[in-house]
Structure 1
């Protein structure tokens, strides 16, 4: 058919419209033009038609429609189906839609002479994105054997898989060596990929060396390095990095400011928070959802809930992320009742909660000990189909345990089949908090029998359970197992639990021996239960030793002052005891009163 025929002219017309739609990002319109106009006109399409259609299916993640487009290309004739650009676009479509076997089959069916660099890169990137590093490297090596020179995009695709797969970091380092040897390290995209891989692997010193070596740093380069320092909770280095960035007159974007806001939240200084907020306003980013949510979190972390609420109220159309930030702010500052009010307002505003929202609300219910509210939140969990989510299940278990409904918590626990260590830990802690030490220890044994390795937090919960229930033998066995069988170094929490357990049970000689075996730098922190036990069980020969340690306790703590005064009275040191009582009044120390929460109308 000649290019001058009406059919050819019509096909060229529709091809131009389809290509323009795809180029402008109107992918749905691109597909509609093909089906409703080109096909409706009885035209099959040619090699210029299908790359734009395949790209549209790839972006919209429509593998079923993409397969139909592939079939149409086959029906359009051998010249079309064998065209290198058509095949490459289809390989890319299958790869981006997660249909790797289909992509690989079409790639293998393509003659070697027709395999373009883009097609090779599509396959390498697809394997990299799915963390199939061995397949990606094999494809990379086959590419080199086929005398196709890898590009920067090839290495970026490979390095993306190495960044996510811990076992592939050595491969990533080798690839960086190849990039240096081949001169591809000058490509900032390659440098950014290596930098990201090093940051995710916590190799910050190597990452900083590479960062300093990159000459033409992009915003991604700066953000990747900043995220590494954030990961290490080194907020000072994030601020220092930002200062250097400003000196180079590098422009800012929302990602840079989100990192800076997160660093300020770690710093926890209100003056710094206001300075970062000013930068956000000066940069014109105060209306961006992610930054507003970060600012709300920042002010809440600094303890200024009024400022957090002002930022929150400044946004008219609030999304779920912003509502959740405000909720979390109230929970973290101990205002769980305000968090529940905010959740009600969110529902009234017809904003659908997400998983993070429900986790925050469950924490609020747990803090309030409100079983009635917790049950209502569980209804939302079920309605959203999140009851099988491990994090949500853990939150529900924690909430029900803290609300005293241990049976309901156990029911949820039993319904979870793929239990991780967090959910075991929550249930064990639930029994500990409810005074059922025997059940906590039994569940701990079951966890070990199922091959789940306990961590330091689980051991804290088990020791707490033994402490609350007076299970001295189990507590000693547990502490021995933690240090000997699992090689976990005890923290101050573990030592406090053991000291309290031994002292409460009246095993003062064992407590003194345990005290002497502790690291010297931690001894002062466990003196309080030891002194209380000495008072409760009468003065003995060890009192002289304990009295020598009294003055090393924190004199700014009112509880310690009262304890020291009482102990000195027992020792007959009336003058010193009176001085500590005077110290409480002189320094204005006040013991915080306890409080209880009663739910009305539950």
Structure 2
């Protein structure tokens, strides 16, 4: 008969080897079965090296077994062992019981680097970044030396918290140690800097002796996100010259995004060739990125060809090409693809339905909108925010605002997009008061407005005849800190300009912090609209001094300002100078504006030649007709030619008919007057009377052409009489 001690010793050796082997191969159920068999055989667990694999098995399979093992450790009196305590801490951390981890950590007599690493990583992995950083600082104070994985986590935490200063401290620590040469840590730092201070990222990138594909990709992506697409593409070109760096799909996707954002079709095509040459054409993610690039670069045919040649298409591929066609207003082609998608048994998802709604908005068909709504309900997409907001917008565009409002009222938790969409819907339907009411409800709900909300509200307020409401919106923009935003500020100054308050427009313009080409163009247009053309020209000089180049819109605004101000020579000179010195190809709008400039100044022969030479559109011939009104003694053949051109190009616009009728009446050609009025009647042209607005004491007074029965207050009559007397004065 064998001695019990000998039996225990041999048995223990057997269990040790079996548990270690099962653990090594990841067979966690076998680990726990062996542990249970060992307990049943009466063999006590005293081997420290076994606690870790058994606790790992408990983490994978049974939390209850792990707690039981912790109790066993306490009974055996081995809880003071740092390695065993670390294993138990790791078990509780993986189970998400950080309170137990912290308690155990606090009771440890001796903590090593592993103890601190488990605690710090545990806090961070479970999203408690503040405690994770605090634990890291405590550990460093005790002389703790972190490992690579912990440092990566801490750097990621600095990035998540936006803690640039703390991240720089870690960078300093790495420089003092051997960690500074480790690529994973360098890449983590690079990513942190790229999101918070790109100039530091570029400096670190320049100092890196061995850059891997991750480093290159991080820098390209960072420049794309900060709208410095030219720098992103320069870095990509630099990669291509580095033969030792193997480019991956993610890097190419970032480069394609740079082409998409900058609408750089030439480089995008080159990248397409590179993808094909490298054999990446089977990658559906890259294929989808190419479709997006071609679509946003206004080349839908290449997008469609890329989609057709894709060997494997998923739902994202279908949605990408349909979205691209909708973006390029190829609505019929998009509908055809949606039919093909159904034939291919590819079920539409939320994005597909949003695309369908975008198509519906184009055709403004209420029936189709309701049909799509029914599909949304059948497929349980009514809780998808993007779908619901697009549906509200589509109903508004189909003039079914009451249904849009019902949908909005059904939304239980509204975000900024929902509120903005409803405000925009009421604005589109001309229900200004309703739009402002929804905005007030939004403010009462403590939802902070964003730039889009304010832009929708500004548009709504611009339809009101009372300047008090736009001023209130301006006040809201100031209080929420958006008045200095380039987009919002530009919209506000434009509203004041339309009300004739050019002084306030200029004040708003001056308050914009980062003025861009749009801001300058809008202010130049405001000056032109309000008869201050020389101020518009001065602002052009200021804009060029600040380093901004005029674009086609700026040139159009300047020409319009010169036209309304009678600055013929200056307008022609500016047009010649800007179109010759800049890469701006004049459009029909520019030539129409030139025709208007010449017509207003009486240079009708030159204006006619220009309209004919460049096949000016309705606006050009309309400008000529206005010029003839001011000089109605001109040749009648010219008048007839201009009238015929205007009515042929815009047969449903009442302005041309009314202008022609007035012209013939001035010349006493009553037969032609009767003919024009007969055309209006036969073609069922809706006559829209022109009007003028005068701003007095924050009230905009509207005067409609031909209405002789308008109510005028005594104050208003006096104002008009004063204006008449002022205009008669010899200045």
The alignment's TM-score, normalised by the length of structure 2, stands at 0.67
Q: Where do 1:435-514 residues align within 5 Å?
A: 435-486=531-582, 488-514=584-610
Conserved? CA contact 2:531–2:564, under 8 Å: yes
Conserved? CA contact 1:51–1:89, under 8 Å: no
CA gap of 1:408–1:569, structure 2 versus 1, over 3 A, is closer
2:639 alignment counterpart: 546
Conserved? CA contact 2:579–2:585, under 8 Å: yes
Conserved? CA contact 1:260–1:276, under 8 Å: yes
Q: CA deviation at 1:424?
A: 0.4
CA gap of 1:265–1:557, structure 2 versus 1, over 3 A, is closer
Conserved? CA contact 1:299–1:308, under 8 Å: yes
Conserved? CA contact 1:466–1:501, under 8 Å: yes
Tell me if 1:14 matches 2:89: yes
1:81 alignment counterpart: 147
CA gap of 1:122–1:402, structure 2 versus 1, over 3 A, is same
Q: Where do 1:398-409 residues align within 5 Å?
A: 398-409=494-505
Q: CA deviation at 1:500?
A: 3.3
Conserved? CA contact 2:604–2:628, under 8 Å: yes
Tell me if 1:537 matches 2:631: yes
Conserved? CA contact 2:485–2:514, under 8 Å: no
CA gap of 1:109–1:588, structure 2 versus 1, over 3 A, is closer
Find the aligned partners of 1:139 and 1:54 in 2 and give their Cα distance: 35
SS of corresponding position for 2:463: helix
Find the aligned partners of 2:681 and 2:269 in 1 and give their Cα distance: 63
1:278 alignment counterpart: 374
Conserved? CA contact 2:120–2:150, under 8 Å: no
CA gap of 1:89–1:326, structure 2 versus 1, over 3 A, is same
Relative to structure 2, which stretch is displaced further, 497-506 or 283-292? 497-506
Conserved? CA contact 1:394–1:423, under 8 Å: yes
Structure 1's unaligned 5+ residue stretches are 22-28
Q: Where do 1:312-461 residues align within 5 Å?
A: 312-368=408-464, 370-461=466-557
Deviation string, structure 1 residues 539-575 (Cα, Å, up to 9, x no partner): 34x3223324533424544333344344455667544
Find the aligned partners of 1:140 and 1:54 in 2 and give their Cα distance: 38
Q: CA deviation at 1:315?
A: 1.9
Deviation string, structure 1 residues 165-215 (Cα, Å, up to 9, x no partner): 2387578547624651xxx65454454455555555555444434433434
CA gap of 1:185–1:575, structure 2 versus 1, over 3 A, is closer
Relative to structure 2, which stretch is displaced further, 401-410 or 417-426? 401-410
CA gap of 1:398–1:49, structure 2 versus 1, over 3 A, is same
CA gap of 1:374–1:81, structure 2 versus 1, over 3 A, is same
Conserved? CA contact 1:366–1:398, under 8 Å: no
Q: CA deviation at 1:321?
A: 0.8
SS of corresponding position for 1:251: coil
Find the aligned partners of 2:218 and 2:48 in 1 and give their Cα distance: 40
CA gap of 1:565–1:397, structure 2 versus 1, over 3 A, is closer
Find the aligned partners of 2:119 and 2:317 in 1 and give their Cα distance: 32
The alignment's TM-score, normalised by the length of structure 1, stands at 0.79
Tell me if 1:519 matches 2:614: yes
Relative to structure 2, which stretch is displaced further, 201-210 or 449-458? 201-210
CA gap of 1:19–1:218, structure 2 versus 1, over 3 A, is farther
Q: Which has the higher contact order (CA 8 A, sep 6+)?
A: 1
Find the aligned partners of 1:51 and 1:235 in 2 and give their Cα distance: 57
Q: 1:176 aligns with which of 275, 282, 286?
A: 275
1:221 alignment counterpart: 317
CA gap of 1:452–1:568, structure 2 versus 1, over 3 A, is same
Conserved? CA contact 1:431–1:465, under 8 Å: yes
Q: CA deviation at 1:397?
A: 1.7
Report the count of equivalent residues. Answer: 574
Q: 1:129 aligns with which of 217, 221, 224?
A: 221
Relative to structure 2, which stretch is displaced further, 466-475 or 195-204? 195-204
Q: CA deviation at 1:2?
A: 2.2
Find the aligned partners of 2:563 and 2:130 in 1 and give their Cα distance: 58
Deviation string, structure 1 residues 193-249 (Cα, Å, up to 9, x no partner): 555555555554444344334344333333333333333233333333332222222
Report the RMSD for the aligned CA atoms in angstroms: 4.4
Find the aligned partners of 1:460 and 1:193 in 2 and give their Cα distance: 35
Q: CA deviation at 1:302?
A: 2.9
Q: Where do 1:17-32 residues align within 5 Å?
A: 17-21=92-96
SS of corresponding position for 1:39: helix
Structure 2's unaligned 5+ residue stretches are 1-46, 52-77, 188-210, 224-231, 700-731
| Structure whose CA Rg is larger | 2
